[in-house]
Structure 1
């Protein structure tokens, strides 16, 4: 399965509006923050950063083929992979982030919406962002479950 097929499969419209997630130009400042803080990388850059080598290889292809990795579209660019989802020294997906990605997709969220959610201040986290709680699995997943199910 190609990146495009994987992303299209995970980018079907959600069942209802998700008002807390900005879209279009309103989301630009959030994307800029994401790029600045953790990066938005091509598949080749992702493979290099995670130590997969300098060419696309089987491990990088498996990450995208399984659909367990966020792949976002920014303008006319190819798919980009937000850096916040990786443990760079370990070359692996952060388990709590991967669980949130799966949850978002089950709830009908696009990869872009899930990625943006991580960077928005959250009332349940006392105004902090979910991306700042990537190592607190219980808090991150609990917050995601409420937000993605539309529970206040």
Structure 2
């Protein structure tokens, strides 16, 4: 399955907006922070960083085959936010994987889920979800509150 197929399968049109999630120039600042802090990687870069020693098609399949990772489209290219990976272990951070699944179930696009991770959150006393990604209980409860835990919950605008 190609990056584009995976992205289409796991993306939908936004159903609304959460006011605390920026769009436009503010969203661009979040994308820059994401790239600087954790990286936004092509499929080959992500596979290399995670130690997948296969050819490009097998790397893509390993990352996207089960649809458990975020694949965001930026500038016509699919990129994989680095915050979702446990680099030494070469796996997806379990709590992040759960939030990705929850966001998709609620109808959020991958770009919206990625922006949610980098937006200051009142439930976390202004911290960003990415800052507490290793605290599974806190991350999941915040995501459930924000994503509604049901299809069609309000999603941030990804510009």
Q: What TM-score results when the alignment is normalised by the length of structure 2? A: 0.87
C-alpha displacement of 1:46: 0.5
C-alpha displacement of 1:29: 0.3
C-alpha displacement of 1:60: 4.1
1:61 & 1:85 partners in 2: Cα distance? 17
- Name 2:125's counterpart in structure 1: 126
**Residues 121, 127 of structure 1: 8 Å contact kept:** yes
1:6 & 1:143 partners in 2: Cα distance? 26
SS for the counterpart of 1:80 is strand
Q: Supply the RMSD in Å over aligned alpha carbons.
A: 1.7
| Aligned residue runs from structure 1 range 1-152, under 5 A | 1-53=1-53, 55-56=55-56, 58=58, 60-76=60-76, 78-149=77-148
Mark the runs of 5 or more structure 1 residues left unpaired by the alignment: none
C-alpha displacement of 1:89: 0.3
Note the alpha carbon deviations across 1:54-107, whole angstroms, 9 max, x for none. 73253541321211100001123x100000000000000000000000000000
2:5 & 2:57 partners in 1: Cα distance? 18
SS for the counterpart of 1:14 is coil
Higher relative contact order (CA 8 A, sep 6+): 2
**Residues 73, 80 of structure 1: 8 Å contact kept:** yes
- Residue-pair matches, total: 150
SS for the counterpart of 1:109 is coil
- Name 2:157's counterpart in structure 1: none
Mark the runs of 5 or more structure 2 residues left unpaired by the alignment: 155-159
